[in-house]
Structure 1
Amino acid sequence: MKWQPAVILGFAFVAVLVPISGQTVPAEASNETRVDRLLSQMTLEEKMNLIRGDVEPAATNQGQAGYLPGVPRLGVPSLRFADGPPGVLTRVAGQAQSATMAVAATWSLNDAEQNGAAIGKQARSLGIDVVLQPFINIDRDITFARSYNTLGEDPFLTGAMGAAEIRGEQAQGVMSQAKHYVAYDSDSYNVFVDSQTLHEVYVAPFEAAIHAGVASIMCSYNKINGPFACGNGDTLKTILRDEIGFKGFVTSDWGGVHNVHFLNQGLTMEMPGELASDSPFAAMMRTYFRTSPEDSAAPSKPNTGALAGMLGGTIPEETKGGSMDLDAFPMDSDSATMRTALQDGSINEAAITAAARHVLYEIDRFGFLDGKQKHDVTLQDFKANGEIIEKTAEDAAVLLKNEGGVLPLKARGSIALIGPTAGQVAAIGTFGERSPGVPELQTGPLAALKQLAPGAKVTYAVADDMTGATIGASLLSHDGKPGLLRTSADGASRVDAVLDFTKGNRKALPANSVVTWKGEVQIPAAGAYWFYLQLLGTRGILSIDGKEVGRSGAVKGTVHGDVQHATQDNGLPTTDGLDNIRRAVELTAGKHAIEVVTSIDTSNAPVQVRLNWMTPEARARAHQEAIAAAKSSDTAVVFAWTRDKPHFELPGDQDKLIEEIAAVNPNTVVVLNTSQPVAMPWIDKVKGVVEMWWPGDEGGPAEAKTLLGLNNPGGKLPMTWAKSLEDYPATSPAHPERSAKGVDGKTTFSEGLLVGYRWFDDQKIEPRYPFGYGLSYTTFELSGLATKTASDGGFDVTFKVKNTGAMRGDEVPQVYLAAPASRPQGVQFAPKTLVAFERVSLRAGEEKTVSLHVPLRAMQYWSESKKQWVKADGPRELFVGDSSRALPLSGTVALPGGL
């Protein structure tokens, strides 16, 4: 959907849940008599087809993450599982939703549910049955390679937002799979957590998901207190089944099974199960639930080059690490398969039947036995989903600093927009388990701002040109002759003056062309040259001087359809919509051998290939042009970005750029497109900062509206923003046992309950911005706190919120409960804990009464000795405010004792 500025979206700025269009939420129970009858008719192998993944036939495969073959003979359909969050990843590019952290920053259950609905509808359009989301681990360690995909640091906020998303997804007739269970909150694969913390922090969001009716849960890669999470009887059977009462199925993370006997410890389903022989995962992931004879051939070795390419590589601005360490991935720990386990009696058919029953229970519950699933691929509703994406991006905007009212921007002044994410939308941040986005639907902040403020004088300087310029013909040769030698798969050859074959210049090659270009490039002077291999409809590898420099992320045999998506390798595609493999290479002056090799993906699209670069001189010139643009404008707006590699830093020279711009323009504003906190060495030198996260395909208009005041930012931080990385509990130098490396190979969550703001409170560390923080273009006042007991053993909190400013805006009042004055011995409490919140929309001068319920569970702790929830005795202080460090209202609540 190309954005139209005249369209006004009809969303109410409220926190209450609204009906979701489409199907109704599935009933909590299935027809168990029917389930048991079907199971009684199945052979052993048919039951295995309900608990072991397989390879979908090529004729129908959508390149999704997983496939379950079902039992066609009995009318039990197959299931497709697709990655997220957010969105859905298949062969067909889906719209990019706002990042999960952006959804969390809305602090709106309505936004979370609407995002779930959009994901569910996208899944239906793409023929998917199970969406592998929400991601409800805790943002405990911001150096964890996957922490950017969480819903923040607080278990209550995470659980509430995740549950709302599940309701939205499953209302569309799609199963949700909450992940990753449990304590997968570190790059460590060997984690130790005490029982109280495990229940109150890490299991808590999954309990909320189960109460929301989630169909399935994915167990995680890590060990938890000894056993692997996918074979841990304590977490899977005792906690998940017995304590919480989960009835759905538990799927292993892909390659998370290391012993066939995990089935006896509570695992339901192995994924990916049987693998295609050409999969690069074949050497990493074994099929333990195999009932056929073992393959006697020698095991293959992992294709580390292909796997590294799939993870996106490191772009020139990322001089430090941050990607997942494949070498640390747990490998096989046992050789027995289901075939041998059945033979020796260590697993019996009853255990297989019980596991298959959990799967069939959900298949029936969702109506899939009655034909209610959808496997055909149809057009996505770009307009309706786009409206949700834009609304979420607007609601997620967090105003961090606004000195002297520098924002909103003056619609008739001169404005310089600076940075590549000012010209293009930083829709996804980093490619991974998510919708890749549809670049042709995107309008950048620059274009949107020009449309919204036609009276403003807007200039643009890219500063860091990610598209670059095609390497000129005068610099390319082969065998002493001009041009590069092109050789096709059939052996035919010709010479090309430049490597530039795109739809834009009408020179795209036919679909499924396989081509190699060889020759030399003339380097005019020694230095760091940034090479950009740009392509679509094909895969490619760039080599210089005989050494591979970079390759595209699409890999034959992987789980995403071997289709090269435009956003795969750089986050931002080229300005004309090609994928962009960008690498920095130090070269001496003179000629250097260069080679580009392509291979087919499965898109059947025209093959587009181009070789661009940025010379050292061109990069320096672009940097200076940005400084000049800022100097000659009333206001300079720098768009800064990160893919969370490196951690807690802006990649490249962005910090330097911001400081230099602030030095020449006193009205400098920074727009952040990140998903985690970053160091801000320039914070005292700029007037304004707004966090826009990775906003999705419709982020450009949302960012422009926020800057111009057409959207009043009302988002709040879902994590604490520290002044230094060492201030966080997981990265404190005083506690190496908490780090991903750990001590003696063990990572111990020794901070216990003190995650995020709780740690900062306990240790009296002043954050840069506290949890729950966010400014507004208007002002609010809270008053009239009152509490009363509720019938469920909890209590209700009532207070008033008034908009005391001059424009409409949203406030998010937050309720925190203090630790009891008298604490039972051996029980840990945080100084205060979030127990309720609501997003409230108010016109200028309007006042509303807000009533929030705090359930009994908020007053309880998990007793390790009693192995149950126990209410803490005595009165508790209660605080209400607009962040964890701004709590103007306080009172005391005292409830009767007991459990």
Structure 2
Amino acid sequence: MSLRKSKYLAVVFCLGALSVFSVGSWGQAVPAEHADEARVDRLLKQMTLEEKMDLIRGGLEDPSVYQGQAGYLPGVPRLHVPSLRMADGPPGLLTRVPGQAETATMGVAATFSTKDAEANGVVIGREARSLGIDVVLQPFVNIDRDITFARAYNTFGEDPFLTGVMGAAEIRGAQGQGVMAQTKHYVGYDSNSYNVFIDQQTLHEVYAAPFAEAIKAGTSSVMCSYNRINGPFACGNSDTLKTILKDEMGFKGFVTSDWGGVHSVLFLNEGLDMEMPGAAEADSPFKAFINNYFVTAPPEPPSNKPVDMDELTGILGGPIPEEPQGAGMDMGAFPRDNDKTTMREALKNGTVTEATITAAARRVLYEIDRFGYLDGKQKHGVTPQAIEENAAVIRKTAEDAAVLLKNEHALPLKNDDLQSLALIGPGALQIAAIGTFGERSPGLTDRQIGPLDALKKGAPSANISFAVDDDMTGVPVPASAFSHDGTPGLLRTESSARETVDAQLDFTHSNGKSLPADGTVTWKGTLTVPSEGEYWLYLQALGARGRLLIDGKRIGQTGAAKGTVHGDIQYATQDNGFPTVDGLDNVRRAVRLTAGPHSITVMASGDTSKAPEQIRLNWMTPEQRESNHKAAIDAAKKAHTAVVFVWTRGKPDFALPGEQDRLVDEVAAVNPNTIVVMNVSQPVAMPWLGKVKGVVQMWWTGDEGGWATADVLLGKVNPAGRLPFTWAKQLTDYAANDPAHPERSAKGVDGKTTYSEGVDVGYRWFDKEKIEPLFPFGFGLSYTTFEYSDLKVAKASDHGLDVSVRVKNTGSVAGDEVPQVYLDAPAKQLQGVQFAPKTLAAFDRVTLAAGESKDVKMHVSPRALEYWSVAEKKWVRSDARRVRVGSSSRDLKLTAEK
């Protein structure tokens, strides 16, 4: 480890420790373990029924102070019970004010460092305080069981133990800032299926297990999921909510529905405590899409605004040319069951009682008191973010997350490489900061220095060339292509009915022509293309929402829409993953056009940011795309070393989007020293793996990822991240995608998805079936080497195990190693009980100087030595287990019997 690095780590962890273990940056103490229950009961006795209802149902915040957050709880002003603001993640916060982009959740998992996870929680809590938020809707502790699940990228990987401890660490960090964490999504939300069946042993040991860790960490609340679980919906499931969560796990906080996850007033009787989002603005796309049950007033008339599925889908970013049609979440499959019950009727006929409402409100009030919010220890004012302190954590996390997958003496870059180095791909010029937009911080684009510039600053004497290949910004459509009524230019019509003509559609800060805020403008005319082909049209905007129509057909629109509880303003990272190089949102669509004229309409209207409107129509013609590709291959051919940056946003499944495989193949064919940098959050096929010299997985890095990537390539940081999932050779190797078991797939059989692999999820399945992965769970190389010895296992005072192993850095440079402890299945199999061949039970991350040795001590908890007995309905201690220790699930160097 370099001196710069060691000082850097010391500063980061000093900052984290100050805020976590004493008080937060705004003087917020760590929340109390228990609330003042007598005080809670006194307040409840003073409340009317409606006031109690305002503690268990979402409402509308005053528009003058609303921050575009996901949810708002009105509270009880008369009794000084404050309102609560809830904001989406992970990671980070999504509100009207741009928040810093943290490393993706899967990247945090790849650090295999609870210190990094806790530091990220601190950043999340600090951001929440800065942005006036009380409840952060994270961590996301579902299991990466099925990599085709549209939201699997947002998990901590495939292992319940890793997920649980990393999620718990984030909770401690966030709640240490005086902010509530809401752990989601409970439970079985690990598939695109909304009808899931899981046996009780697997449910307890795999899918509910991370929530148990969250409860031990003191999480304020839990969000129930959209899916059915063993029949009933998760938000109305007495078995999972009452029996498992509240009774068995002892959860004292409140259960909030996922937004639109309520399908009956009677869910309140089954363990649900709060409905979100509750009320919706009349012009919100959600108004006609989501029912609102916890309402005691007479029902409102039905919304006459039709559901616009394109608008709803666009919230999470629409399709782009490199991705297959239909990529992304299918909003049409979302459960919209409605049993037509109303709270008003239920209270009259006694199917819901005021006592049940009081019990639910009590759980919410309990947490409000525990966090000190009854005593004014919350903050709704928006104040400057701790940019530099947060950035240090984000950069360190991106560095610690880097997984070196292959290295044939290619990395770190040497002097010969740097004297003739070609960087190829849009991810070299810009940062793949967030991957896919959705429930997360959008990032600060002015901080996003790409790897190209970071490398130039880190190695100022280097000779570095760049070729974009896939140009995601494009060029303005030329004036010669536009006309209206037989004359040049597009006809612009403003809301005042004023008409003018514009030669091009290019109004940005970059060219000094941005438009006034809050305007509504339409451009109409004719787009004439020179030849038939697939044209990529880029509608680019900021401070405005935009829509593009060709020949009367809607081609694309920006994702932000008022009332969608996703920030409400247009973000530069919303619709493409990469913004334009000058920081605009980028709606990119592929359109096949015949030669000649086509009608075109572009509409722009101000978002609620009050910022000047920027709007531009760029394109890439077929000829321009092919020319850029040839330039990339030529740059690689001329260079000593080529580094190709590849990316995904999650689709297609198990493949890089677009022509990136072709790009790597062709670069490797002309340059024997080819290195690949991957900005992906799930495994993908790597048909070119044998043709390249090095591969480093950088995940979606967050705002500071350009610096982190450059430091890893230059060897200023020694990569030590580990894979939090199994990287298969083919998609069908995964249990959820095995064609021999269609019941496990998202489609399921007869509409039911059954997790019939049981506890054998992830690497456990590969072990059981003896499938050789491309890269195993827990895998990661280093610029140095390590040796393991002297394994010791002893019974611990808590009836778990204490494991000690000596690890030595046998190489010539400092680096981190991640020893991992696995338990074999008991030798004696029990009837009706399933054991995985081996399971992760402990790990640590240790820094070692060249030649240094350390005894690494790890603790195996008693729960890791138990199984859930379906027959006895309790946890039962298993027989003796063999303990294995090594550097991945398939490289276990030492064993001991215990």
TM-score in terms of structure 1 length = 0.97
Report SS of the residue matched to 1:101. helix
Question: 1:528 offset after TM fit, Å?
Answer: 0.3
Aligned match for 1:844, one of 836, 839, 850? 850
CA distance in 2 between partners of 1:461 and 1:18 (Å): 43
Q: CA separation of 1:488/1:140 partners in 2, compared to 1, >3 Å: closer, same or farther?
A: same
Report SS of the residue matched to 2:19. coil
CA distance in 1 between partners of 2:511 and 2:476 (Å): 12
Question: 1:24 offset after TM fit, Å?
Answer: 3.0
Aligned match for 1:368, one of 363, 370, 373? 373
Question: 1:784 offset after TM fit, Å?
Answer: 0.2
1:163 is matched with 168
Report SS of the residue matched to 2:124. helix
Question: 1:561 offset after TM fit, Å?
Answer: 3.9
1:535 aligned partner, one-letter code: A
CA distance in 2 between partners of 1:751 and 1:10 (Å): 42
| 1:582 and 2:581 matched | no
Report SS of the residue matched to 1:404. coil
1:60 is matched with 65
Report SS of the residue matched to 1:593. strand
Report SS of the residue matched to 1:217. strand
Aligned match for 2:743, one of 737, 744, 759? 737
1:122 is matched with 127
CA distance in 2 between partners of 1:861 and 1:139 (Å): 21
1:714 is matched with 720
CA deviations on 1:596-627 (whole Å, 9 max, x unpaired) are: 01122101000111110000000000000000
Report SS of the residue matched to 2:8. coil
2:43 is matched with 38
Report SS of the residue matched to 1:95. coil
1:601 aligned partner, one-letter code: D
CA distance in 2 between partners of 1:6 and 1:512 (Å): 47
Report SS of the residue matched to 2:723. coil
8 Å contact kept, 2:291–2:338: no
Question: 1:13 offset after TM fit, Å?
Answer: 9.9
Question: 1:457 offset after TM fit, Å?
Answer: 0.7
CA distance in 2 between partners of 1:11 and 1:744 (Å): 56
| 1:134 and 2:133 matched | no
Q: Unaligned 5+ residue runs, structure 1?
A: 894-899
1:694 is matched with 700
Report SS of the residue matched to 1:118. helix
- Mapping of 1:10-409 within 5 angstroms? 10-11=9-10, 18=17, 20-21=19-20, 22=24, 23-297=28-302, 300-409=305-414
CA distance in 2 between partners of 1:608 and 1:406 (Å): 42
Question: 1:408 offset after TM fit, Å?
Answer: 3.5
8 Å contact kept, 1:409–1:707: no
1:600 is matched with 606
Question: 1:161 offset after TM fit, Å?
Answer: 0.2
| 1:612 and 2:625 matched | no
| 1:414 and 2:420 matched | yes
8 Å contact kept, 2:313–2:330: no
| 1:627 and 2:633 matched | yes
CA distance in 2 between partners of 1:16 and 1:94 (Å): 19
8 Å contact kept, 1:320–1:645: no
1:807 aligned partner, one-letter code: V
CA distance in 2 between partners of 1:538 and 1:12 (Å): 40
CA deviations on 1:22-81 (whole Å, 9 max, x unpaired) are: 133211100000000000000000000000001111011000000000000000000000
1:553 aligned partner, one-letter code: G
1:523 aligned partner, one-letter code: V
CA deviations on 1:819-843 (whole Å, 9 max, x unpaired) are: 0000210100000000000000011
CA deviations on 1:356-400 (whole Å, 9 max, x unpaired) are: 000000000000000000000011111000000000000000000
Report SS of the residue matched to 1:11. helix
1:867 is matched with 873
Report SS of the residue matched to 1:887. strand
| 1:494 and 2:500 matched | yes
CA distance in 1 between partners of 2:828 and 2:72 (Å): 53
CA distance in 2 between partners of 1:470 and 1:763 (Å): 54
CA distance in 2 between partners of 1:311 and 1:837 (Å): 35
- Mapping of 1:430-509 within 5 angstroms? 430-509=436-515
Q: CA separation of 1:298/1:532 partners in 2, compared to 1, >3 Å: closer, same or farther?
A: closer
Q: CA separation of 1:14/1:805 partners in 2, compared to 1, >3 Å: closer, same or farther?
A: farther
CA distance in 1 between partners of 2:7 and 2:858 (Å): 31
Question: 1:475 offset after TM fit, Å?
Answer: 1.4
Q: CA separation of 1:836/1:298 partners in 2, compared to 1, >3 Å: closer, same or farther?
A: closer
CA distance in 1 between partners of 2:889 and 2:13 (Å): 22
1:817 aligned partner, one-letter code: L
| 1:524 and 2:530 matched | yes
- Mapping of 1:779-794 within 5 angstroms? 779-794=785-800
Report SS of the residue matched to 1:543. strand
CA distance in 2 between partners of 1:193 and 1:104 (Å): 25
CA deviations on 1:112-137 (whole Å, 9 max, x unpaired) are: 00000000000000000000000000
Question: 1:307 offset after TM fit, Å?
Answer: 1.1
Q: Cα RMSD over matched residues?
A: 1.5
1:853 aligned partner, one-letter code: H
CA distance in 1 between partners of 2:288 and 2:850 (Å): 62
Question: 1:413 offset after TM fit, Å?
Answer: 2.5
2:891 is matched with 886
1:897 is matched with none
Report SS of the residue matched to 1:882. strand
Question: 1:12 offset after TM fit, Å?
Answer: 7.7
- Mapping of 1:520-559 within 5 angstroms? 520-559=526-565
8 Å contact kept, 1:90–1:560: yes
Q: CA separation of 1:772/1:316 partners in 2, compared to 1, >3 Å: closer, same or farther?
A: same
1:11 aligned partner, one-letter code: A
Q: CA separation of 1:386/1:679 partners in 2, compared to 1, >3 Å: closer, same or farther?
A: same
Aligned match for 1:776, one of 779, 782, 790? 782
Q: CA separation of 1:38/1:301 partners in 2, compared to 1, >3 Å: closer, same or farther?
A: same
Q: May I ask how many residue pairs the two structures share in their alignment?
A: 888
8 Å contact kept, 1:509–1:608: yes
Report SS of the residue matched to 2:10. coil
Report SS of the residue matched to 1:852. strand
8 Å contact kept, 1:16–1:109: no
CA deviations on 1:557-607 (whole Å, 9 max, x unpaired) are: 211342000100011110000000000000011111111011221010001
CA distance in 2 between partners of 1:20 and 1:785 (Å): 36
8 Å contact kept, 1:788–1:796: yes
Question: 1:320 offset after TM fit, Å?
Answer: 4.5
1:827 aligned partner, one-letter code: V
Report SS of the residue matched to 1:659. helix
8 Å contact kept, 2:313–2:329: no
8 Å contact kept, 1:417–1:459: yes
CA deviations on 1:479-524 (whole Å, 9 max, x unpaired) are: 1101111110110011111111111111111111110011111211
TM-score in terms of structure 2 length = 0.98
Q: Unaligned 5+ residue runs, structure 2?
A: none
Report SS of the residue matched to 1:753. coil
Report SS of the residue matched to 1:56. coil
8 Å contact kept, 1:395–1:714: yes
Q: CA separation of 1:372/1:406 partners in 2, compared to 1, >3 Å: closer, same or farther?
A: closer
Question: 1:876 offset after TM fit, Å?
Answer: 1.4
Q: CA separation of 1:186/1:6 partners in 2, compared to 1, >3 Å: closer, same or farther?
A: closer
CA distance in 2 between partners of 1:10 and 1:284 (Å): 47
Question: 1:18 offset after TM fit, Å?
Answer: 4.3
CA distance in 1 between partners of 2:691 and 2:531 (Å): 36
Question: 1:431 offset after TM fit, Å?
Answer: 0.5
